[in-house]
Structure 1
Amino acid sequence: MNKRSSDAEIENLNVTTEATLVSLAEQVTGFVAAGTLDSRCAAKFVKRLKKEGEVVAEGKNSTASGRKSLKKTLDALDVVLREHDAKLLVEANAALRAKDTA
């Protein structure tokens, strides 16, 4: 007996929707913007959300508008992460300068 699942079985097991992934990405974006979620943790979420998005996109329930919405939301999350990391870098640099002048 073969223990590996067929592609059809795997597709049927995935009940994730693009709308759910969009909602999760929006929540992560809000948490990063509010400073309540570490950007390293958020980056791991983004990586996982993108992988799940690829699986969903390959499924039969995927729509062009859903894929577009997910891509737009994930791109916005990437921007928020970059801005957050840039802010942290500026703050660290300012702290080093203050330490050097003291």
Structure 2
Amino acid sequence: MSKKSESDEAVILNESTEATLTTLTTQINAFVHDGTLDSRCAAKLVKRLKREADLISENGKSSKPERKKLNIAFVEIEAALRDHDAGLLVIANAALRAADDAVEVRARG
């Protein structure tokens, strides 16, 4: 089963609006902040929303104010995803240090 090509997507009439994409992006950001949505899933959703935004822009249905709001929402979700992933790295690093300390204590004892 093959994926749709970008040209196939451009042919299909696009009913999404930038305001809708902004709302979806903001909601995804809230889910990431609340911890109810995995950051990897959120990143994939945002990637798809960006492609959708590009299609809207290519079809000439874009307005400057709405595009600006959407770009701000994209910047905010990307920052939230980076912060979330950084937090996960800190937790993983602490777990590794604790495991190393436990091995070191057993080696001494």
TM interval, short-chain normalised: 0.7 to 0.9
CA distance in structure 2 between the partners assigned to 1:100 and 1:52 by the alignment: 46
Could you state the TM-score of these two structures normalised by the residue count of structure 1? 0.86
Structure 1 segments unaligned to the other structure (5+ residues): 1-6
Deviation at 1:99, TM superposition (A): 1.2
Deviation at 1:34, TM superposition (A): 0.7
Deviations 1:12-53 (A, max 9, x none): x21100000000000100011111111110110011010000
Could you state the TM-score of these two structures normalised by the residue count of structure 2? 0.81
Corresponding residue of 1:64: 64
RMSD: 1.9
Percentage identity across paired residues of the two chains: 53
Corresponding residue of 2:91: 91
CA distance in structure 1 between the partners assigned to 2:69 and 2:88 by the alignment: 29
How many equivalent pairs are there?
95
Corresponding residue of 1:53: 53
Larger Rg: 2
1:14 maps to a residue whose letter is N
Corresponding residue of 1:4: none
Runs (4+) of structure 1 exceeding 6 A deviation are none
CA distance in structure 2 between the partners assigned to 1:75 and 1:56 by the alignment: 18
2:45 maps to a residue whose letter is F
Corresponding residue of 1:100: 100
Q: Does 1:33 align with 2:40?
A: no
Corresponding residue of 2:77: 77
Corresponding residue of 1:17: 17
Corresponding residue of 2:42: 42
